[in-house]
Chain A
Amino acid sequence: MNAASELGNSLSDDWSKKHLLGLEELSADEITLILDQAAEFKRLAASGETKLGALAGTVVANLFFEPSTRTRTSFALASKRLSADTVDFSSAGSSLSKGETFVDTARNIEAMGVDLVVVRHSTPGAPHLLAKHLNASVLNAGDGTHEHPTQALLDIFTIREQRGSLKGLTVALVGDILHSRVARSNIWGLTKLGARVIVCGPSTLIPPHVEKLGVEVSNNFDEILAETDCINLLRIQFERQRSAFFPSIREYAHLFGMNGDRIKRSRKDVLILAPGPINRGVELTPDVADGSHSVILDQVTNGLVVRMACLYLLFQRRKQESAVGAPQ
């Protein structure tokens, strides 16, 4: 266990949010603060400081009302790295199936002394509903097709790590924009940090008025390859698509899949990102996923320190609050 001094408290003093519900509500400075804190954790880890005592004595509840492997594991590990106690809850086999409401379930878990709730839910606004009802801090781990802030933060962290800055970069989000919370959070984060964002996909999977969010729209992947620095290949969300948005997987892969041929026509230093889990052969071919342009596994590694940073900053704010006796 190392001392808090290792962490350099200066960063957390600038953080004022009780909850992290989305990137829409964060300023560019706040996003940068999280990224800097994550970089600090990454530096510490590289120097062998993998276990920090910062959150010792606190309890983090991971409430996952929707299936998740990667995000759930990443949050669990992030909490453990910071020495928080964790409780895990998933809706399968829980009291939800006995008719208990979402809010009641969360209140019951909070009553066990939980300080922070990480929540994943299929309904947009579900974390906001919890934030209204709980005293604990709420961290959104994905709410329906609304936001997935930590995923976007780790995507942006990965790009920043490779390129130094987001300013002036062109980032393409490719695929199912309509059903993608990753796309929405990325759009907020990227545009706030000065990147140019293109959303590209079949016209049926581009939501109406999306250009009002400050992005450009393309339906032709091949046309944007030459002008794009980073390509984030969003997963086709078969589970959210209840009607036909495109004729076949084959046709989708033909028009919007990333493959070796398209890599050849891309910029030499193009970065390939994917939030995963990837459908190999659909959004991207194995040679691209495992190729030299891919930073997909870096994203996963960075996800851990980004989530540590989010947890840490939210807890610092709680600590300051209880120190001055401020109301919840």
Chain B
Amino acid sequence: MSTLVIRGGRIIDPAQAIDETGDLIVRDDRIVGIDQPVNSVDQEIDATGQIVSPGLIDTHVSFREPGFEEDETTETGTAAALAGGFTSVACMPDTFPTVDNRGAAEFITLQADRAGHCHVFPLGAVTRNLDGEELAEIGQLVEGGAVGFTDAKRPVANAEIMWRALEYTRMFDRPVLSHPQVPELVARGVMHEGFYSTLLGLKGIPAIAERIMASRDLALAERTGGRLHLMCISTEGSIDEIRRAKDRGVSVTAEVTPHHLALTDDLLQSFDSNLKVDPPLRSADHVAALIEGLKDGTIDVICSDHQPYANEKKDRELDLVPFGIVGLETVLPICIKTLIEPGHLSWSELIAKLTSGPAAVLGIDRGTLVPGSVADITIIDPTAEWTINPDGFRSKSRNSPFVGWNVRGRPTTVIVDGQVRTVADL
């Protein structure tokens, strides 16, 4: 038996509505509680002036292994997750081959165990090879550890397949994660459709392409009773649809990324390929709607949508570069800059979107410091000032739009299953 005491930190656990200064006690791989009497202490961490949070959870990362190890591997991806304060991540099935069978799912968890950094929960494909045509073997994927189902960046375009997917996953109580976009309206698009796409002559991706598909998915979730999670919501129209669906009692959750809060479409004037993301960066009125959605609970989760790409893939003509940016190591400071510093969310509200919110989406017993739970903890220095420099990333890729940003706040210590990891030593 080994006892760890995290002393004097501001303990925030939204799942228990706790926000208080105290000592958090951990025994072996489990949380004991706050300010409990302890006979002997094996290890102490001084967390004075820091925030002690449940380990952060990311619902949306791509680790590229197998198939695209030049971008990221499970080892480098999970190291990046830890460096960003994440103790659990759910990774997309858009590898090559795809995670559309039990063996592929088990390979992901095996590689995560070998790496030994943080927990990885695989997401299985909704359809075989993400082709959108026939359902993957969802039941066997569940047995292989898949916590949810998604075709990643490919929306399930066929409404009947989506209907069946929501019905079928219901019997395993697993969510379907959908990237809502009408494919024919976004085809060959590069950026948000608006004034700046006109100015730059870049093909636009209209906001309603997201709203229409979100609306379809919500109607299907309502009809089937399946659990729907809408990924990377970026438009005001989608927020309206989700808000009304929640009011009707539809089983839906939704996520946003920090970059859709921090960046807008006008920045594409630089033609920087690290601003090409899917969905695209939107205009300021959409950003305001996303923040409103976070405040009123329409949006449950903030995720990184970590999309690592090797330099040679990103340093090309804008219409040839793949969509996406690395995010795991910058989620926290960008959230602080866009949500805490302007006063949009309290610390407790932000941490809920990064812990209990994603845990509920994935249906995993994490994201809380309740006594007896797994000792996954993130200790955050909320005032540490630093400059984002991709050369220091643990991720294998460098495609960040936040290079050179001066930010505040970073994780100092991450505890996974009771094992203490100092971020600076990673």
Q: State the A residues within 8 Å of B (CB).
A: 24, 101-103, 121-126, 128-129, 143-147, 181, 184, 207-210, 212-213, 242
Q: Which of B193, B202, B316, B317 has most chain A Cβ within 10 Å?
A: B317
Q: Give the chain B neighbours of A213 by CB distance below 8 A.
A: 198-199
How far is A129 from B193 in the complex, measured between Cα atoms in Å?
Answer: 22
Q: With an 8 A cutoff between CB atoms, is B318 at the interface?
A: yes
Instruction: Indicate whether B41 reaches chain A with its CB closer than 8 angstroms.
Output: no
**Quick check: B317 and A209 within 8 Å, CB to CB?**
no
B201/A129 in contact, CB under 8 A: no
Shortest B188–chain A CB gap in Å is 7
Instruction: Please classify the interface of chain B as helix (H, G, I), strand (E, B), loop, or mixed, using the class held by over half of its residues.
Output: loop
Which residues from 184 to 230 on chain B have a C-beta closer than 8 Å to any C-beta of chain A?
Answer: 188, 193-195, 197-204
Q: A208's contact among B202, B204, B315, by CB below 8 Å, is which?
A: B204
A141 to chain B, nearest CB (A): 15
Verify A210–B201 contact, CB threshold 8 A.
Answer: no
* Given contacts A103-B315, A103-B316, A124-B318, A207 and B202 within 8 Å (CB-CB): no
A124, A146, A181, A207 — most chain B CB neighbours (10 Å): A124
Contacts of B199 in A (CB 8 A): 24, 184, 213
CB distance from A224 to the nearest CB of B (A): 21
A102 to B225, alpha carbons, bound, how many Å? 50
Is B271 in contact with chain A by the CB < 8 A criterion? Answer: yes
Residue B319, interface by CB 8 Å = yes
Q: Chain A residues near B200: list those with CB within 8 A.
A: 124-125, 146
CA–CA, A144 and B188, complex, Å: 13
Partner of A242, one of B188, B195, B316: B188
Interface size on B, residues (CB 8 A): 20
Nearest CB of chain A from residue B396's CB, rounded to whole Å: 20
Q: How many A-B residue pairs have CB under 8 A?
A: 63
The chain A residue with its CB closest to the CB of B271 is: A125
**B312 at the binding interface (Cβ < 8 Å):** yes
Interface pairs (14), CB distance under 8 Å: A101-B312, A102-B316, A123-B319, A129-B316, A129-B318, A147-B201, A184-B199, A208-B194, A208-B195, A208-B198, A210-B198, A212-B195, A212-B198, A242-B188
Structural contact, A129 and B195, CB atoms closer than 8 A: no
Contact A129 B317 (CB under 8 A): yes
- CB within 8 Å for A121 and B202 given contacts A129-B271, A209-B195, A212-B195: no
* 5 further A-B pairs in the complex, CB-CB below 8 A; given A126-B317, A242-B188: A102-B317, A124-B319, A129-B317, A144-B319, A181-B201
Contact A145 B201 (CB under 8 A): yes
Whether A123 contacts B317 by the Cβ 8 Å rule is: yes
- In the bound complex, how far is the Cα of B30 from the Cα of A7, in angstroms? 83
- Does B288 sit within 8 A of A, measured CB to CB? no
CB distance from A236 to the nearest CB of B (A): 17
The 4 closest A-B pairs by CB, nearest first: A125-B271, A145-B201, A146-B201, A123-B317
Q: Is the CB of A124 within 8 A of B201?
A: yes
Q: Are the C-beta atoms of A207 and B271 separated by less than 8 Å?
A: no
**B267, CB-defined interface residue at 8 Å:** no
Q: Which residues of B contact A (CB under 8 A)?
A: 188, 193-195, 197-204, 271, 312, 315-320
Which residue of chain B lies nearest to A148 when distances are taken between CB atoms in the complex? B201
- Chain B residues positioned under 8 Å from A128 (CB to CB): 271
Provide the bound-state CA to CA distance between A128 and B317, in Å: 10
Chain B positions within 8 Å of A121 at CB level: 317
Q: How far is the CB of A66 from chain B (nearest CB, A)?
A: 12
A123 surroundings in chain B (CB, below 8 A): 317-320
> In the complex, A124→B271 CA distance in Å?
8
Complex alpha-carbon distance, A125 and B194, angstroms: 17
Q: How far is the CB of A140 from chain B (nearest CB, A)?
A: 12
Distance between B157 CB and nearest chain A CB, rounded to angstroms = 17
The closest CB in chain A to the CB of B315 belongs to A103
A125 touches B195 (CB 8 A): no
A96 smallest CB distance to B (angstroms)? 11
- Write out the residue numbers on chain B whose beta carbons fall within 8 Å of the beta carbon of A125: 200, 202, 271, 317-318
A121 to B318, CA, bound (A): 11
Identity of the chain B residue whose Cβ is nearest the Cβ of A206 in the assembled complex: B198
List residues of chain A with CB within 8 A of the CB of B195: 208-209, 212
Q: How far is the CB of B404 from chain A (nearest CB, A)?
A: 16
Separation of A125 and B200 alpha carbons in the complex (Å): 8
Q: Please give, as numbers and ranges, the residues of chain B lying within 8 Å of A212 by CB-CB distance.
A: 195, 198
User: How many whole Å from B320's CB to the nearest CB in chain A?
Assistant: 7
Question: Nearest Cβ distance between residue B276 and chain A, in whole angstroms?
Answer: 10
Report the separation of the CA atoms of residues A257 and B270 in the bound assembly, to the nearest whole angstrom: 37
B146 to chain A, nearest CB (A): 36
**In the complex, what residues of B have CB within 8 A of residue A103's CB?**
315-316
Cα A125 to Cα B199 in complex, Å, equals 12
Q: From residue A49, how far is it (CB to closest CB) to chain B in Å? A: 38
How many Å from the CB of A235 to the closest CB on chain B?
15
A145 and B201 alpha carbons, distance in the complex (Å): 5
Q: Is the CB of A144 within 8 A of B201?
A: yes
B318: nearest residue on chain A (CB-CB)? A125
C-alpha gap A242/B201 in the complex (Å) = 16
What residue of chain B has the Cβ atom nearest to residue A146's Cβ?
B201
Point out the residue from A24, A146, A209 that lies within 8 Å of B202, measured CB to CB: A146
Quote the shortest CB–CB distance from B225 to chain A (angstroms): 37
> Chain B nearest CB: distance from A152 CB in Å?
13
Tell me which of A24, A102, A209 contacts B194 (CB under 8 A).
A209
Contacting residue for B193 out of A24, A144, A145, A208, CB 8 A: A208
B313 and chain A: residue at smallest CB distance? A101
Least CB distance from B319 to A in Å reads 5
Chain B residues positioned under 8 Å from A144 (CB to CB):
201-202, 319
Residues in chain B near residue A122, CB distance under 8 A: 319
